[in-house]
Structure 1
Amino acid sequence: MKVLVVDDSAHNRRLLSELLESSPDVKVVGTAIDGNEGLRQVMALHPDVVTLDLEMPRLGGYSFLRLLKSTAPTPVIVISSYAHKTDVFKALELGAFDFIAKPAKLTTEVLEKLRKELQEKVHAARLVRPEMKPVKRPKVMTLEPSFVVGIGASTGGPPAVQRLLESLSPEPSMSLLVCQHMPKQFTRAFAERLDRLGPFSVREAQEGDLLAPGHVFIAPGGRQLVVYRQNGQYVLGTPPPTMQDKHAPSVDRLFMSLAEVFGSKTIGVVLTGMGSDGALGSKAIQRAGGEVWAESEETAVIYGMPQEAVATGAVSRVLPLGEIGPALVELARKRR
């Protein structure tokens, strides 16, 4: 696998190259100090994946993404610091595949975590199709207010979640709860970005929020997202993870909570991601009489989470990403 590293810092170029090439099937074929050189290297070296720093002299990251998309579409992973989290989602909107948070301190433990995340996302990015066309929006949608959709995603998830939300009509009456594996410093910016892109009201969930039709709540990074009934209302909880939780936020915890509270009125949707988070929760939704859908292998960047959910026998529908939103609309009309 050929990777091009674009970063104006010599230290970062050297570090990223070493971390990438610690994988035997990854080769850093070139580096670039700015967007101009990066574009020349893309045309000359034809890398499978590009890692990109956004803040560079001469031609910066945003301009690089725009030009790359129109000249030589290539999967891009943005490397960004926590201090510039809002920039990440602008880059995703411009076509970047995913991002990695650049740590402030490089301890041995932090470097190992960065190495694993970098290699995982580079391998995943190689599978994407940058030329993929956006989904057309259905024109009409009416849903029961108690129709609740839980969405779980990990690697490759931010653009997948965006595409799913954009495929729904501008008159939603369902509630959606999203569990996207993401560092806690980024989930609020992710919610704010989605809120500006479509008809839904999107926000990062906070303890005590009321579940409401036409709203999307993003699970806060580092915490869980659950629902409970109180005084006739559905209230969101964001408890800290327990020792038993492998992920925070956890798709399993969200799905189990929805199954317990909403039963047959629950739809669980498992999107792209590595690992098995969501499999246990899918079984809980099935036992409660709800439905579980999974993204198909043909569109999933990483088919790990959907595949594990399907293996439980709880999944009733396996759909390409572009068909999930319209299928939710169709189901809601039947339930009116």
Structure 2
Amino acid sequence: MGIKVLVVDDSSFFRRRVSEIVTKDPELEVIGTASNGLEAVKMAAELKPQVITMDIEMPVMDGISAVREIMGKTPTPILMFSSLTQDGAKATLDALEAGALDFLPKRFEDIATNKDEAILLLQQRIKALGRRRIYRPVTRSTTPTPAKSTKTPASPQLARSVTPAPAPVRGTVVKRASGKKYKLLLIGTSTGGPVALQKILTQLPANYPHPILLIQHMPAAFTPAFASRLNGLCKIQVKEAQNGDQLRPGSAYLAPGGMQMMLERGGAHGRIKIVAGSADMNYKPSVDITFASASKISGRETMAVVLTGMGADGREGARMLKSAGATIWAQDEASCIVYGMPQAVTAAGISSQSIALDDMAEAILRESSHG
């Protein structure tokens, strides 16, 4: 039996289009379609799909409300379709906060350079989500305290996250610091990254002693909104990186979508260089690119963390960092939405620790206190 998929969209044309793509893969099966969020909530309970594809703007009940209802009643992996606009970015981030696990542009020409590539990517995303079992969203006891009053209040849904089913082996917990000294923290991620980054960054104090470079696979229209949202929630400062930014302790710099973020010498802690990158790069931004540039500048004084995500982006950059003496950690399988990128660095023997998401911020703080 294939992975059972429920397709939700108010456009009959788009429902047919997505259904045709899904059923082309023998490992996938469309078991139903819904034209609005209310139908989706009912059909999710009745049909028990393993993955739901969800539009955002729909009559009767919108996609964000539907995600919230489904995750509260019958938790199911949900893939959102979004427009690549400022409003679409905000709505997609709201959907991820409500419990959706991933998103793709609704215009398939924005997904990939050709039709076949776009079809394959959609099928791969659905299969990756369908292999994960999830439980109800929970509010952890470690929910961060509100951010500084000078920042924009964050959405109340931000503390909600989806807990993946536990794997047989849990990641290790770092009980004591290694004693190494650091000057830079790098974090690379993809699918599931927005929630994972939020969970980690909201636990860092305003006086966190190092600059942080964040590489999240995300379209250009989304990264300004994501950086702004994180900045409103976190005690540290978070911004979308700009060419020439001087790195400062207690500040996080999010790689802009559609571009590549590199580190170069300049100032006390280094300077950011933003470039377009080559057209044949699979990821813009790419974790490998940023990690590789940091290996030449900060080397052994760097800590790099690879979080949840599809594929293997970050493995080769992490290999270069490790060769330069850097410390590499990976998120453990149990807490990943997709155990792809962390598995790549772990299987290659590059990471020294596999750490659960709930424990990652504490481990980073303990290790960074010696920097």
Match of 2:136, as an amino acid? E
Post-superposition Cα deviations, 1:12-56, rounded to whole Å, max 9, x if no partner, equal: 100111111111111111111111111111111011111111111
Q: Tell me what 2:310 maps to.
A: 274
1:9 positional shift: 0.4
CA distance change for structure 1 residues 145 and 85 in 2, over 3 Å: closer, same or farther? farther
Partner in structure 1 of residue 366 of structure 2: 330
Out of 128, 134, 152, which is 1:129 matched to?
134
Do structure 1's residue 225 and structure 2's residue 229 form an aligned pair?
A: no
Match of residue 123 from structure 2: 119
After superposition, the C-alpha distances for 1:142-186 in whole angstroms (9 at most, x for unaligned) are: xx9963111111223222222222343454332211111222222
Any conservation in 2 of the 1:264–1:291 contact (CA below 8 Å)? yes
Deviation of 1:57 after TM superposition, in Å, equals: 0.8
Deviating more after overlay: 7-16 vs 203-212? 203-212
State how far apart, in whole Å, the 2-side matches of 1:109 and 1:332 are.
41
Percent identical pairs in the alignment equals 36
Which residue number corresponds to residue 248 of structure 1? Answer: 284
Structure 1 residue 99 corresponds to structure 2 residue 103? yes
Question: 2:109–2:115: 8 Å Cα contact kept in structure 1?
Answer: no
Greater shift in the superposed pair: 147-156 or 26-35: 147-156
2:20 aligns to what?
Answer: 18
Asked if the contact 1:259–1:288 (Cα under 8 Å) also holds between the matched residues in 2, the reply is: yes
- Decide whether aligned partners of structure 1 residues 225 and 65 sit closer, same or farther in structure 2, where only a CA change above 3 A counts: same
* 1:69-88 aligned within 5 A: 69-83=71-85, 84-88=88-92
Q: 1:111 to 1:130 in 2, by over 3 A?
A: farther
- Provide closer, same or farther for how the CA distance between residues 102 and 119 of structure 1 changes in structure 2, counting only shifts above 3 A: same
- The more displaced of 317-326 and 158-167 is 158-167
User: Residues 291 and 321 of structure 2 are in contact (CA less than 8 Å); yes or no, is this contact kept in structure 1?
Assistant: yes
Is 1:7 the counterpart of 2:9 in the alignment?
Answer: yes
Which of 41, 64, 67 does residue 66 from structure 2 map onto? 64
Alignment of 1:157-306 (within 5 A): 157-232=193-268, 234-242=270-278, 245-306=281-342
Counterparts of 2:112 and 2:311, CA distance in 1? 24
Structure 2 residue aligned with 1:53, among 50, 55, 59?
Answer: 55
CA shift, 1:130, in A, is 4.2
Instruction: Identify the range of structure 1 (107-116 vs 188-197) with the bigger mean alpha-carbon deviation.
Output: 107-116
Contact 1:153-1:180 within 8 A present in 2 as well: yes
Q: Secondary structure at the match of 1:306?
A: helix
Over 3 Å counting, the alpha-carbon distance change for 1:22 and 1:228 in structure 2 is same
Match of 1:293, SS state, is: strand
Deviation at 1:231, TM superposition (A): 4.8
For residue 189 of structure 1, report the CA deviation from its aligned partner: 2.1
Q: Are the aligned partners of 2:108 and 2:115 in contact in 1 as well (CA < 8 Å)?
A: no
Q: Report how far residue 244 of structure 1 moved.
A: 7.1
Q: Matched residue of 2:298: which SS?
A: helix
CA deviation after TM superposition for structure 1 residue 109, in Å: 5.0
SS at match of 2:265: strand
Q: Distance in 2 between matches of 1:288 and 1:326?
A: 25
Provide, for residues 90-148 of structure 1, a one-character-per-residue CA deviation record: whole Å limited to 9, x for no partner: 11111111111112759995433332232222222221524254551589xxxx99631
The alignment's TM-score, normalised by the length of structure 2, stands at 0.82
Corresponding letter in the other structure for 1:317: Q
Q: 1:37 is aligned with what amino acid?
A: E
> How far apart in 2 are the matches of 1:99 and 1:115?
14
The answer to whether the 8 Å contact 1:210/1:236 transfers is yes
- Whether the 8 Å CA contact 1:270–1:295 is kept in 2: the answer is yes
**What is the letter of the counterpart of residue 64 of structure 1?**
A
What is the Cα deviation at residue 193 of structure 1?
2.3
Structure 2 letter corresponding to 1:57: P
Q: What letter corresponds to residue 297 of structure 2 in structure 1? A: V
1:145 and 1:174 in contact (8 A); partners too: no
Aligned residues of 2:112 and 2:118 also touching (Cα < 8 A) = no
How many residues align structurally? 331
TM-score for both structures, normalised by structure 1:
0.90
Inter-partner Cα distance in structure 2 for 1:240 and 1:303:
28
